[in-house]
Structure 1
Amino acid sequence: MIGAVQILAIGYKQAELPKEIGRQINLLRSSDAVRLLDVYAIHKARDRTITEQAIEAISDWDGNLIRKILTSAGAHRAFSSYTTDASGFLVQGTPIPDPTVSVPAGTNLVILLIEHLWAGPLQDAMRNGSAFPLAGGWAGRDVLQKAGLVMNDTAD
């Protein structure tokens, strides 16, 4: 059983992926909580053409799985569709802006496909207990700080 799978798109304007971002992506490989399934990078030129891009800081990834998702479903569908029937899923899919439309020209984009391993047992428990997700999302740093959560400003 596969856990909840997240598509995370990170944009950047400089020619090379910022070193700290590459380091953090590579650290995901040793995580017990998540599994990095694939990494794919593109560049959207000023003339709006999109080309695949190799990222030296993140080796041993060919982007094949993400490429198949984008080409089999089409970028718009892969990034903007979501499940309306959440049975059997821990996290409902939510729309992600289509990179062919929403990524500014002159921008690079790295797309991560991340399986949340911690979610598998909870997902099974929900299915076996006839439970279902009602909502999900990411809470921003500002909101959490305003609620009183003390944030560590340095990456470990």
Structure 2
Amino acid sequence: MTGPVQVLVVGFDEPTYSGEVLAELTRLEAAGLVRLVDLLVVARTAGGELEIVADERLPAGSGELAVEVLTRAESEPAPADEDTATWSLADAVPAGGTAAVALVEHVWASPLRDAIRRNGGRALDETWLAPDDVALLERLEHDRS
């Protein structure tokens, strides 16, 4: 069974393509924590159009799954019984920006998700804390220790 899959969109002001980010994802995959389902690099023109950025360092076919899933998700309306906000990759990448889009399966979270479901629960929302909020959290934890 597939674990929770995150769409991770990381912006780069001046991408260097050193391979360090892909190496870290590969390390996490080897540790059994995540599975890199797909990786796509896109650029958004000043006019707002998204373009796929080709990179010979990525395996052949990289980005194909992400493109299919994300474009289908953007074009299909949410079921009437779901109160979900519409998400768009084009909205996530600023005009003139470049981004890596990773579909990351959180393998470690599958047992937790299954336990939640067995107990009648379901995910309502998820987000990452903003850097300023993480800094605040770190200060608060430090003050309590």
- TM category (shorter chain) comes to 0.7 to 0.9
Alignment check: 8 A CA contact 2:48 2:95 kept: yes
Q: For residue 147 of structure 1, give the secondary structure of its aligned residue in structure 2.
A: helix
Q: Does the residue aligned with 1:62 lie in a helix, a strand or coil?
A: coil
Counterpart of 1:104 in structure 2 is 94
Q: How many corresponding residue pairs?
A: 139
Instruction: State the shift of 1:18 in Å.
Output: 5.4
For 2:114 and 2:92, locate their aligned partners in 1 and report how far apart those are by CA, in whole Å: 35
Q: Any idea what SS the aligned residue of 2:111 has?
A: helix
The alpha carbon displacement at 1:132 in A equals: 3.5
Report SS of the residue matched to 1:112: strand
Corresponding position of 2:72: 72
Instruction: Please tell me the root mean square deviation across aligned C-alpha atoms, in Å.
Output: 3.2
Instruction: State the SS of the aligned residue for 1:118.
Output: helix
Structure 2 counterparts to residues 2-151 of structure 1, below 5 A: 2-17=2-17, 19-60=19-60, 62-74=62-74, 84=82, 96=87, 98-133=88-123, 136-140=126-130, 141-148=134-141
CA shift, 1:41, in A, is: 1.1
Q: Is residue 2–residue 110 contact of structure 2 (8 Å, CA) maintained in 1?
A: yes
- Determine if contact 2:74/2:86 at 8 Å carries over to the other structure: no
Question: Are the counterparts in 1 of residues 13 and 97 from structure 2 also a CA contact under 8 Å?
Answer: yes
User: What per-residue deviation string (whole Å, max 9, x for no partner) do you get for residues 4-59 of structure 1?
Assistant: 11100001121533553343233333231111111011111234332111234544
TM-score, normalization: structure 1? 0.69
Structure 1 or 2: larger helix share? 2
- Given that residues 44 and 105 in structure 1 are in contact (C-alpha distance below 8 angstroms), is that contact kept between their aligned partners in structure 2? yes
Identity score, percent: 27
Alpha-carbon shift at residue 72 of structure 1 (Å): 1.8
> 3-state SS of the aligned residue for 2:141?
coil
Greater relative contact order (CA < 8 Å, ≥ 6 in sequence)? 2
Distance 1:27 1:148, change over 3 A: same
Cα separation, 2, equivalents of 1:129 and 1:61: 39
How far apart, CA to CA, are the structure 2 residues paired with 1:103 and 1:114?
A: 18
**1:93-123 deviation digits (Å, cap 9, x = unpaired):** 8765x33234222211110101111111122
